[in-house]
């Protein structure tokens, strides 16, 4: 496993997005725990979650509690694992997502997340999404207060524009360490945010990094499939999955990138983690860039 810098420490170059383990169509707890343990076995030391990663009403924090149980049951050392969580969104249980990034709500949410995770201080706490009903400076100001209070050790922002990143950086200073936006082979409109994150020395954490790569191609009957996108063709040449190629391509975009692929079974997370050790040639990267 290769490593990159986040929150003034080293974490695995590929993290795990734990959301699929708690939302609709989630696996049973046995498989969910096995998936988290497979990530740790593969060298993953960054796990991404949120208090809103749950399915039914009344189970806020389901994913955080699941991760806490998985870490407690793991046989090895987990002291180096960074669990990054988020606040500012909600799920009423009808399949929808709400936004509530008011300062009071964020302060309570962070305290509740720390309790569920069993932490004295959250290693990385991210504002999940800007709330159009709350001035951005007020939401980010709540992160500043959480930093000052020691409730969180580092802060991040998610689903943001370059202007919002700059304002957050002005308020949080060195306390701001990450930007988490959607970025994948199919969705590349966060290029400006990626460039700015790298310029400011922030980690850029793509969510849904496998968008545009069919999951059906992960385990073809004769190995990786050779049809479809350039990612499939490069995968066939290397004898690996197109998902692994997509993550290796993301890693090559910038040293600031730490992708967060989701997984709901051990095989998927093991395959994703292996992307950190896949080297693509300059010609292959040009082909994938042009896809």
Q: Give the residue numbers marked as catalytic.
A: 53
How many whole angstroms separate alpha carbon 149 and alpha carbon 103? 14
Find, among 98, 125, 99, 101, the residue nearest to 111 by Cα: 125
Question: By three-state DSSP, how is residue 249 classified?
Answer: helix
How many whole angstroms separate alpha carbon 275 and alpha carbon 271? 7
Find, among 58, 64, 154, the residue nearest to 117 by Cα: 64
Question: By three-state DSSP, how is residue 174 classified?
Answer: helix
Question: Phi and psi at residue 34, in whole multiples of 5°?
Answer: -60, -35
What are the distances in angstroms from CA 186 to CA 30, 70, 118, 213? Answer: 32, 32, 37, 8
How many whole angstroms separate alpha carbon 86 and alpha carbon 157? 9
Give the pairing type, strands 82-87 and 155-158: unpaired
Would the CA dihedral through 258, 261, 263, 269 be positive or negative?
Answer: negative
How many whole angstroms separate alpha carbon 258 and alpha carbon 241? 19
3-state per-residue secondary structure call for 197-244: HHHHCCEECCECCCCCCCHHHCCCECECCCCCCHHHHHHHHHCCCHHH
How many whole angstroms separate alpha carbon 189 and alpha carbon 161? 10
């Amino acid at each position: 496993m290769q490593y990159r810098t986040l929150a003034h420490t080293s974490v695995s170059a590929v993290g795990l997005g734990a959301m699929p383990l708690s939302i609709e169509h989630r696996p049973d707890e046995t498989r969910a725990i096995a998936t988290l343990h497979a990530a740790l076995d593969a060298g993953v030391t960054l796990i991404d979650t949120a208090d809103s990663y749950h399915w039914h009403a009344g189970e806020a924090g389901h994913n955080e509690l699941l991760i806490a149980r998985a870490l407690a049951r793991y046989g090895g050392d987990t002291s180096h694992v960074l669990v990054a969580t988020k606040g500012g969104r909600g799920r009423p249980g009808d399949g929808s997502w709400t936004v509530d990034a008011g300062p009071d709500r964020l302060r309570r949410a962070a305290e509740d997340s720390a309790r569920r995770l069993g932490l004295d201080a959250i290693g990385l706490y991210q504002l999940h999404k800007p709330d159009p009903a709350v001035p951005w400076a007020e939401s980010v100001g709540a992160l500043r207060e959480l930093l000052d209070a020691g409730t969180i050790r580092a802060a991040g922002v998610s689903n943001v524009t370059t202007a919002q990143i700059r304002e957050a950086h002005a308020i949080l200073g060195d306390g701001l360490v990450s930007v988490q936006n959607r970025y994948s082979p199919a969705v590349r409109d966060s290029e400006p945010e990626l460039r700015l994150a790298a310029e400011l020395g922030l980690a850029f954490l793509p969510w849904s990094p496998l968008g545009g790569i069919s999951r059906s191609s992960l385990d073809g009957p004769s190995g990786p499939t050779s049809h479809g996108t350039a990612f499939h063709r490069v995968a066939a040449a290397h004898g690996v999955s197109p998902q692994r190629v997509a993550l290796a391509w993301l890693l090559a975009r910038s040293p600031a990138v730490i992708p967060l692929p989701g997984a709901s079974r051990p095989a998927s997370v093991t395959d994703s983690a292996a992307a950190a050790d896949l080297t693509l040639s300059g010609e292959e990267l040009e082909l994938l860039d042009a896809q």
